[in-house]
């Protein structure tokens, strides 16, 4: 169309194509061959980058999900191996003690054998039952028994030690205020050596208990029944076994049950035994070696300090130790809340499973309207403004003179 005015300019307005996909209308190759080739290259490169940035859709795995009954069989197989490993460790320790006169190291040797048999036995059971590819050697043994190597290993263990130490101090506060603790010191050099052996024995024994109750068995029982039932059941089993220890009471069994709950939560929050082992080790070491108190009815570790207690059994725990004192139950409830607080970032880092893309790749054909629209847009030229020479004289002499000078040049 033509717009008349001071400057008469002819404007050719083509039909503007609909924009789709790239955000601009393309010109025909005949009009701009170089531009069309450049745009095609850019479009191809952008399409390639977009496809590479998208997650690859994998075919559904052909490996079937293992049934819950399979994990139950692994669980019961693990129980049988614990019983067998305990008997083998006792026999092996007795043989070494008698042959080499190592009565001072008897408990340490037995617990070391027991831990060794648990670690290797559970890894062997896992490999025989599943035959799935995974970490081999020592790494496979650690992963099977919930002892992974990761950057926060030492941090988790240290936090567990701090929490276990604080729990014991809090549990002893009522006894201290009541004046129920009467320590006696025996700091002979030989007792220091025995105390170091006791310290190593407690470290190995506490780790063996964690591996037995919160390692292989706990993992498979969770897969078979879920974390809640597995936690309650294994904590109940842990408490039931403690009822056969010397001087056990109904209150000590209840407290041991909640100790089991605490250690299970430590595993569930971190998917490892480092935190639970730290708590277990710190509680036992502080109670037996540093304060000279009975450890679940066993006073064999009181070498440097021996503490006699007076007062009611519900306050002091009596000959069973602080694990039979009523205030320990309150301390455990507070410790569970603190444990949740200090393991929130571990729970996010080690228990969160990101969704993995999967399925069948599919190429869907565009609708006919889309195809027709692209075909129409491909043949449309760009909008172009063409200058024309006015056919009638301008009403402004200055502009008319300017136009004549431009035409003469």
User: Domain total for the chain?
Assistant: 1
Contact 326, 332 (CB under 8 A): no
The yes-or-no verdict on residue 114 having pLDDT over 90 is yes
| pLDDT-derived band at 263, boundaries 50, 70, 90 | very high
Residues 6+ apart with CB under 8 A from 15: 380
pLDDT of residue 26: 44
pLDDT of residue 72: 95
CA distances from 242 to 48, 111, 140, 314 (A): 65, 17, 31, 17
Average the pLDDT over each of 4-8, 330-334, 367-371 and give the range with the smallest value: 4-8
Q: Specify the length of the chain in residues.
A: 409
Strand-pairing partners, residue 182, are: 308
The yes-or-no verdict on residue 196 having pLDDT over 70 is yes
Q: Vertex 242, ends 209 and 161: CA angle to 5°?
A: 45
Contact 227, 268 (CB under 8 A): yes
**Is the residue at 54 inside a domain?**
no
Helices 344-351 and 326-342, packing angle to 10 deg? 60
Contact 183, 305 (CB under 8 A): yes
Q: pLDDT tens, 168-185?
A: 999 999 999 999 999 999
| Domain residue limits at 319 | 151-351
Q: What is the mean pLDDT of residues 250-255?
A: 96
Give the dihedral sign, CA 259/260/265/267: positive
Q: pLDDT tens, 125-134?
A: 998 988 765 5
pLDDT of residue 325: 96
| pLDDT-derived band at 40, boundaries 50, 70, 90 | low
Q: pLDDT tens, 347-356?
A: 888 887 666 6
| pLDDT-derived band at 117, boundaries 50, 70, 90 | very high
231 versus 360: which is more confidently predicted? 231
pLDDT of residue 168: 97
pLDDT of residue 108: 96
Kindly report the three-state secondary structure assignment for every residue of the chain: CEECCCCCEEEECCCCCCCCCCCCCCCCCCCCHHHHHHHHHHHHHHHHHHHHHCCCCCCCCCCCCCCHHHHHHHHHHHHHHHHHHHHHHHHHHHHHHHHHCCHHHHHHHHHHHHHHHHHHHHHHHHHHHHCCCCCCHHHHHHHHCCCCCCCCHHHHHHHHHHHHHHHHHHHHHHHHHHCCEEEEECCCHHHHHHHHHHHHHHHHHHHHHHHHHHCHHHHHHHHHHCHHHHHHHHHHHHHHHHCCCCCCCHHHHHHHHHHHHHHHHHHHHHCCCHHHHHHHHHHHHHHHHHCCCCECCECCCCCCEEEEECCCHHHHCHHHCHHHCHHHHHHHHHHHHHHHHHCHHHHHHHHCCCCCCCCCCCCCCCCHHHHHHHHHHHCCCCCEECCCCCCCCCCCHHHHHHHHHHHHC
Contact 261, 195 (CB under 8 A): no
**Is the residue at 119 inside a domain?**
no
Q: List strands edge to edge, sheet with 2-3.
A: 2-3, 9-12, 384-385
**Is the residue at 223 inside a domain?**
yes
Average the pLDDT over each of 17-26, 110-119, 275-284, 329-338 and give the range with the smallest value: 17-26
Q: What is the mean pLDDT of residues 283-296?
A: 95
Report the chain's mean pLDDT, rounded to a whole number: 82
Tell me the pTM: 0.72
The yes-or-no verdict on residue 198 having pLDDT over 80 is yes
Residues 6+ apart with CB under 8 A from 231: 260, 261, 264, 265, 268
pLDDT of residue 373: 78
By DSSP bridging, strand 384-385 and strand 2-3 are unpaired
Q: What is the mean pLDDT of residues 41-59?
A: 53
**Is the residue at 265 inside a domain?**
yes
Q: pLDDT tens, 141-153?
A: 999 999 999 999 9
**Is the residue at 128 inside a domain?**
no
54 versus 252: which is more confidently predicted? 252
Q: What is the mean pLDDT of residues 299-321?
A: 92
The yes-or-no verdict on residue 201 having pLDDT over 90 is yes
pLDDT of residue 292: 94
**Is the residue at 174 inside a domain?**
yes
pLDDT of residue 17: 43
**Is the residue at 308 inside a domain?**
yes
Q: pLDDT above 70 covers what percent of the chain? A: 73
> Closest by alpha carbon to 276, among 325, 234, 321?
234
The yes-or-no verdict on residue 214 having pLDDT over 80 is yes
Measured CA to CA, the distance from residue 202 to residue 198 in angstroms comes to 6
| pLDDT-derived band at 369, boundaries 50, 70, 90 | confident
pLDDT of residue 401: 72
**Is the residue at 136 inside a domain?**
no
């Amino acid at each position: 169309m033509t717009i008349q005015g001071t400057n008469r300019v002819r404007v050719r307005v083509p039909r503007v194509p609909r924009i789709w996909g790239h955000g601009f209308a393309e010109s025909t190759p005949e009009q701009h061959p170089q531009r069309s080739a450049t745009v095609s290259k850019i479009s191809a490169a952008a399409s390639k980058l977009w496809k590479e940035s998208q997650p690859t859709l994998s075919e559904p795995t052909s490996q079937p999900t293992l049934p819950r009954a399979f994990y139950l069989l692994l669980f019961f197989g693990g129980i049988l191996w614990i019983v067998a490993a305990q008997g083998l460790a006792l026999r092996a320790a007795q043989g070494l003690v008698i042959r080499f006169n190592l009565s001072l190291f008897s408990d340490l040797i037995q617990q070391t054998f027991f831990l060794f048999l648990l670690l290797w036995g559970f890894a062997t059971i896992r490999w025989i039952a599943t035959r799935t590819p995974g970490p081999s050697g020592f790494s496979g043994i650690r992963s099977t028994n919930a002892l992974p190597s990761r950057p926060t290993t030492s941090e988790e263990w240290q936090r567990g030690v701090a929490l276990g130490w604080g729990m014991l101090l809090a549990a002893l506060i009522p006894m201290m205020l009541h004046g129920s603790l009467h320590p006696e010191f025996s700091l002979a050099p030989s007792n220091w050596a025995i105390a170091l052996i006791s310290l190593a024995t407690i470290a190995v024994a506490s780790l063996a208990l964690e591996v037995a109750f919160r390692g292989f068995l706990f993992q498979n029982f969770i897969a078979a029944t879920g974390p809640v039932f597995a936690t309650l059941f294994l904590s109940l089993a842990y408490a039931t076994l403690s009822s056969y220890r010397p001087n056990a009471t109904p209150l000590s069994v209840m407290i041991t049950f909640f100790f089991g709950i605490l250690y299970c939560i430590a595993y569930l929050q971190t998917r490892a035994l480092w935190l639970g082992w730290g708590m277990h080790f710190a509680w036992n070491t502080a109670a037996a070696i540093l304060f000279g108190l009975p450890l679940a009815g066993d006073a064999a570790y009181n070498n440097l300090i021996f503490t006699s207690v007076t007062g009611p059994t519900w306050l002091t725990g009596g000959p069973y130790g602080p694990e039979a004192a009523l205030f320990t139950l309150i301390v455990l409830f507070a410790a569970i809340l603190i444990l949740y607080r200090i393991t929130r970032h571990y729970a996010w880092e080690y228990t969160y499973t990101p969704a993995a893309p999967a399925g069948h790749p599919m190429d869907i054909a565009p609708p006919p309207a889309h195809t027709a629209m692209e075909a129409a847009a491909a043949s449309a030229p760009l909008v172009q403004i063409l200058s024309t020479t006015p056919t009638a004289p301008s009403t402004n002499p200055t502009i008319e003179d300017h136009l004549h000078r431009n035409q003469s040049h």
